[in-house]
Amino acid sequence: MKDRVAGAADSFTGSPSFGDVVAAAARIAGHVRRTPVMTSRTLDEMVGSEVLMKCENLQGGGAFKLRGATNAVLCLNDDQARRGVAAHSSGNHAGALALAASRRGIPAHLVMPSDVTAAKKAAVEGYGGRVVLCEATLAAREATVAQVVAETGATEVHPYDNPWVIAGAGTATLELLAEAGPLDGVVAPVSGGGLLSGTALAAHGAQPGIRVVGAEPLLADDAARSLAAGRRLDAGPGPTTMADGLLATLSDRTFAILRDTVDEIVTVTEDQIVEAMRLLWERMKLVVEPAGAVPIAALLARPGAWPPRVGVIASGGNVDLDRLPF
């Protein structure tokens, strides 16, 4: 993807590089929030390391997703932009893409499952996105977004299997390293692999030799199983983790990046996710959703086993307050 220019967002099929992450950071500067890096003495003592948390729960739209969505939207040429963007998503990506598109003044068509919560649907519509409902299956979502693209000419912006989205996600780690200084390791949640891929590309490019670890719910552990098997495995039927932002399956693109750049994926139980979430809410006064708390759960699951300075990407804070797990 190196040396690509705006307008290639829907045509490039390769993988991004560190240079693409750096370019994305320059491109989205001023369009997304530079989120704070926060620490907690209590957390440090419990983990046995200095933990520096990049608070993407405080990002516009409530999640890191705005970075990749904004990068992809800004990479569209004028003709593509006039036709808008489309995606299927039941959560943070839908809101992020709607927000990014509204800021450029272009249409956004978001395919969402019929069982999506009213709050998520309202958030997307509040950002100016057009919601198209479909059956609550991946096949239905993919077929519906293909139909929307055919009808509108919109550019599809996949939630994670998109080089511009991956590069944009990696900008959070660039900012973390710029503010925190050299780190011994960085931990990020993994689902479809867009965030962890961008995290790894940014971390290794900015600081060669750094340890990169993914964190994943045990009840949706296809990424951990895939890396262990050396081939991409599907999630299987019915993952039921409360971390509903981590239910996607790796793509061929993200699996290839993670296979080459990630040292390990740590899995955590539902009880460990709740413990981490409560700690963040009570001690750091941070509203972090279950998916965003998974990396902290991974640190707490192995006290004393981490290197001296560890960075963490707290991916989002979009919590359904009517369905808190505690």
120 classed as catalytic: no
Instruction: Specify whether the CB–CB gap between 277 and 293 falls below 8 A.
Output: yes
| Residue of 311, 308, 295 whose CA lies nearest to 214 | 295
Give the CA distances from residue 139 to residues 129, 136, 148, in Å, rounded to whole numbers and listed in that order: 22, 9, 14
Take residue 228 and report the two structure tokens written for it: 């262990």
Separation between Cα atoms, residue 280 and residue 286, nearest integer Å: 6
Of the residues 54, 65, 120, 121, which is catalytic?
A: 65
Instruction: Specify whether the CB–CB gap between 266 and 214 falls below 8 A.
Output: yes
Of the residues 49, 89, 191, 315, which is catalytic?
A: 315
65 classed as catalytic: yes
Take residue 274 and report the two structure tokens written for it: 């709740």
Residues in contact with 129: Cβ distance below 8 Å, sequence separation at least 6, in sequence order: 94, 95, 97, 98, 101, 102, 108, 109, 110
Instruction: Specify whether the CB–CB gap between 72 and 157 falls below 8 A.
Output: yes
Supply the residues annotated as catalytic. 65, 315
